[in-house]
Amino acid sequence: GVKMPVLGFGICGFSDLLECKNIILEAIKQGVRMFDTAAIYQNEEALGMAIKESGIDRKEFFITSKLWVSDNSYQGAIRGFYQSLHKLQLDYIDLYLIHRPLGDYYGAYRALTDLYKEGKIKAIGVSNFFDDRLYDLIYHQEVKPAINQIQIHPFLQRKDELAFHQKMNVQVEAWSPFASGKQNIFENDVLKDIAKRYQRSVGQIVLRWHLQRNEIVIFKSSSKERIKENLAVFDFELSKEDMIIISKLDQGRIEDSAYRIESMKRVYGLENEYGI
């Protein structure tokens, strides 16, 4: 029953607090009201400062944060949540997610459920859960995750997983919609051709593609012009033919055990992708 914007702003990678705060304030000025952060991003304070400085009623914002794997236990999740709440200078968080399905995420999810019942969190969910982990969690928990935030972009479309989420009535939220700038997405000939026909940017085409797949999507940018551009995606619609053309860009995904083990090594700090 919680209303959530379908387009929001992610602040992963903006670690300098003053710079991050100013970027958020610019996004707010351009009309952004949904922001996505996480404990591991180390910028929750900047988001809290920007919300206060904006002078806009807190109820106008939809704020998401995420529990890091080091706090994946019942007590750890309680502690991690209140640390985030304090840094954000808020009385509640709109959406709180378990960042990755590692460690005692069952215990962590029970803690989130209790915080949800207390009204400290308006909605709870998960991030980076594969279908098997998601199904297992749904089957064993009292409150179903409202959201699974996963990486999706035109080269990684995860069609079967989307169908599974729809069947389970779990909303998909896409992070890294522009493939983190990899594979030269903004110079892709197929996307450029479609953008030219609609007189739009490639970024706008990609975001519109996400929205028409019924995905909530979060983008990030430090550019005022790009933020404004990315928000202007509600006054046009891609044709069925163009949606099919973009669907053919899918390259599948790496899902073997070696890939997952390497990912876990990074998460646990053996090769920390955040430099922490």
Q: Give me the active site residues, please.
A: 41
Residue 56's contacts (CB-CB under 8 Å, 6 or more residues apart) are 28
The number of helix segments (H) and strand segments (E) in the chain equals 11, 8
| H or E element in which residue 77 lies | helix 74-88
The beta-carbon contacts of 261-267 under 8 Å, at least 24 apart in sequence, are 264/102, 267/69, 267/100, 267/102
Q: Is 21 helix (H, G, I), strand (E, B) or coil?
A: helix
Instruction: Please report the DSSP string for 223-250 in residue order.
Output: -HHHHHHHH--SS----HHHHHHHHTT-
d(CA 223, CA 231): 12
Cα distance between the two ends of the chain: 37
Encoded tokens for 59: 């109820």
Which of 27, 3, 1, 16 is closest to 218 using CA atoms? 27
- Angle, CA 43 vertex, CA 37 and CA 46 arms, to 5°: 105
Q: How much is the CA Rg of the chain, to the nearest whole Å?
A: 18
Read off the DSSP letter of residue 173. E
